[in-house]
Structure 1
Amino acid sequence: MDYHSDRFDDFSLIVRKDNEIVAVLPANKSTDELISHQGLTYGGLITRKNLDVESIKAVVDAVLTFLKDVGFKFLEIRELPTFYQCDLSHYVFTALMDYTANIIGANKVLAIDYNKPLSIHKTKLKHYRKNKDKGFEIKEEDNFDEFWNQVLVPRLKDRHNTKPVHTLQEISLLKSRYSNHIKQFNIYLKGEILAGITIFDKGHIVKSQYGATTASGEKERALEYLFINLIYKFKAEGKSYFSMGTVMDKSYPEGYNIGLLRQKIELGCNEYKQNILRISLV
């Protein structure tokens, strides 16, 4: 996470037992409050998979005792989506709630569960089959320059007057450090880039970090075609989940992007709730 260390006052924690790491809490400091790291999509308290319920409770006790001792008054922590740690996430959540934590919000996390039959909307499948004859070319690229400069940055600027969370230099640095875990897929028509998707490969889970299209690509349904192509690809590779991230957006009255939610559900995603907890330490 050091690539954006200038943006956050990092206060991440490591929990050890007999000098063995049993849990980590990526977090940053904000005055008298510790917050699940705001530079990460999920954050949360991450434990070893072999911990039992009592050990997880002991980890939570140790973390909260330490935070009290060093002067924090509040802990704001995001629940880890269940498809990342299965039952352990529930045990961590239960242990935190034992401290009379307040649920102050919840994120909607969208993901395809490959253990269930795919449920891509029939209209999207109709367009996908029709567009197979269009001449699309999909490539996995080694660099992000073309997608960032010609698609992602202009699209975000035009549509939302914003920028990607990662600069081109930052995503390139991460790629150089984790070359097998960060992948870029672009789609072209007659040599012109129309859309792209940046994938974070976490082993049995893949996550689309960025997905964007040009105006021409939107007319050709290029991003939709690329998403469905990757959905089939990762299923064939034996992945368990394809996460498409959250749809939370404070600019909407509902707190989330309704249109984006609908699109991801039509691509076959299920909705998972990620609770945000706040615990008083005083």
Structure 2
Amino acid sequence: MYSVLKYSASHLKLWNDFISQSKNGTFLFNRHFMDYHKDRFEDYSLMVFKDKKLVAVLPANRVEDKLFSHQGLTYGGFVFCENIKDFTSLVDIISQVGVFLKKQNFKSLKIKSIPEFYYKQKYLYNEIITCFNEQVEETKMVFAVDLTKKLTIHKNKLKKYRNNKHHFIIDKSNQFDRFWNDVLIPRLREKHQAQPVHSLSEIKYLSNLFPDNIKQFNIYLDNILLAGITIFEKDHVVKSQYGATTTLGEKYRALDYLFIHLINLYQKEGKQSFSMGTAFAKTPLGYNPGLKKQKEELGCTIFEQSIINLEFDD
């Protein structure tokens, strides 16, 4: 009933059209987004057909005999068409992919699941997780503000936001140079000995491809850049992909001010969720307690991101 095919460049339009009309796809799965770092990953994305009609895709890359829901993306897994409405179909599709991968001599498939708040139909999220119930290897915390409910921002942060006497200027643009060079790169290097996942040239390239999805918000005082947040926006969800502040910005609590401003802005626009990503850290706890507290005080709820590991027997 189902056939599985490895993606190739000749399928680009078919793939992108499918993602734009799917139940749970986001612009991160668009091939133009995925392929910006194709030199770093060996793509092995899959397409599932039923009677020659594309019904599901799996953005993925391979490392030797292991397949991963694409390691260059924040989340991934199976993306289904609108016509998939029953649990049996989900199981059949996933099973056929397993059969295909086993025939191709893969030993395992690891999936970083799409967090629940990206699904417009919550039942689909529950059913997909149920399919993999016994293969969930671990769960990670993902933080998001539910914009459909009354905000629960900590009273101290709200008080400072409302009583702020500084004449901040908040600028929205598709210009990233100043934030990357003057704030984000220096702060990540200073605090975490790290670099942004996206280089400046990469984020500018992606923004040119997806100007409606990737936006930069900066906050200034007397033309001095204090902090910035890079937003990835998809339908009902917005995600703060990057957020950073200068030392002076910390003094004025500029990043908190900008976050609260954007939370209010997107709630008024009718968005459903404002994602702030994870609080992951290489510590015994597995997360940064200070970052976790900060995100919770900004009104975030903790959602689970399941890490699923399917192993194929010989």
TM range (shorter): over 0.9
Rounded to whole Å, the distance in 2 between the matches of 1:112 and 1:20 is: 37
- Find the aligned partners of 1:260 and 1:49 in 2 and give their Cα distance: 37
Q: 1:256 aligns to what? A: 287
Aligned counterpart in structure 1 of residue 278 of structure 2, from 234, 242, 246: 246
Residue aligning to 2:114: 80
Q: Provide the C-alpha distance between the structure 2 equivalents of 1:247 and 1:49, rounded to a whole number of angstroms.
A: 33
Deviates more, 1:7-16 or 1:224-233: 7-16
How far does residue 96 in structure 1 lie from its aligned partner after superposition? 2.6
Name which of structure 1's ranges 153-162 and 12-21 shifts more when overlaid on structure 2.
Answer: 12-21
* Amino acid across the alignment from 1:257: N
Aligned identity (percent) is 51
Partner of 2:251: 219
Which residue of the other structure, out of 29, 37, 41, is the alignment partner of 2:62? 29
CA distance in 1, matches of 2:147, 2:93: 32
CA distance in 2, matches of 1:20, 1:151: 47
Aligned partners of 2:286 and 2:263: how far apart in 1?
Answer: 27
What SS does structure 1 have at the residue aligned with 2:42?
coil
CA distance in 2, matches of 1:51, 1:229: 38
Give, in whole Å, the separation in 1 of the partners of 2:157 and 2:82. Answer: 38
Secondary structure in 2 matching 1:150: helix
Instruction: Tell whether 2:309 aligns with 1:278.
Output: yes
Q: Which range moves more in the overlay, 20-29 or 153-162?
A: 20-29
Residue 137 (structure 2) pairs with residue 104 (structure 1): yes
1:129 equivalenced with 2:165 (yes/no): no
Quick one: which amino acid aligns to residue 123 of structure 1? N
TM-score (norm 2): 0.86
Instruction: Report how far residue 10 of structure 1 moved.
Output: 1.5
Q: Which residue of 1 aligns with 2:36?
A: 3
Q: Residue deviations 1:13-41, cap 9 Å, x none?
A: 12222333222211111121111211111
- Partners of 1:200 and 1:51 in 2: how far apart? 27
- Whichever residue aligns with residue 245 of structure 1, its letter is G
* Separation of aligned partners in 1, 2:156 and 2:205: 39
Distance 2:44 2:292 in 1: 33
Cα drift, residue 209 of structure 1: 0.2
Rounded Cα–Cα distance in structure 2 between residues aligned with 1:15 and 1:254: 39
Task: Encode CA deviations 1:167-196: one digit per residue, 9 max, x unaligned.
Answer: 000000000100111000000000000000
5+ residue gaps, structure 2: 1-33
TM-score of the superposition, structure 1-length normalised?
0.95
Describe how 1:57-206 pairs up with structure 2 within 5 A.
Answer: 57-85=91-119, 86-97=122-133, 100-101=134-135, 103-131=136-164, 133-206=165-238
Q: Distance between the aligned counterparts of 1:122 and 1:281, measured in 2?
A: 51
Contact 1:112 1:268 in 2 (8 A): yes
Q: Counterpart amino acid of 1:68? A: K
8 Å contact from structure 1 (residues 49, 88) kept in 2: no
The number of residues matched between the two structures is: 277
In structure 2, the residue matched to 1:210 is 242
2:25 alignment counterpart: none
Q: How far, CA to CA, are the matches of 2:209 and 2:220 in structure 1? A: 27
Secondary structure of the structure 2 residue equivalent to 1:229: helix
Contact persistence 1:79–1:89 (CA under 8 A)? no
User: Aligned pair in 2 of structure 1 residues 171, 91: CA closer, same or farther (>3 Å)?
Assistant: same
RMSD of equivalent CA atoms? 1.2
Deviation at 1:142, TM superposition (A): 2.3
Shift of 1:242: 0.6
Q: Which amino acid aligns with 1:272?
A: F
Residue 18 in structure 1 maps to residue 51 in structure 2: yes
Question: Contact 1:44–1:78 at 8 Å: present in 2 too?
Answer: yes
Counterpart amino acid of residue 107 in structure 1: K
Partner of residue 264, structure 2 = 232
1:279 deviates by 1.3
Q: Which moved more, 1:230-239 or 1:110-119?
A: 110-119
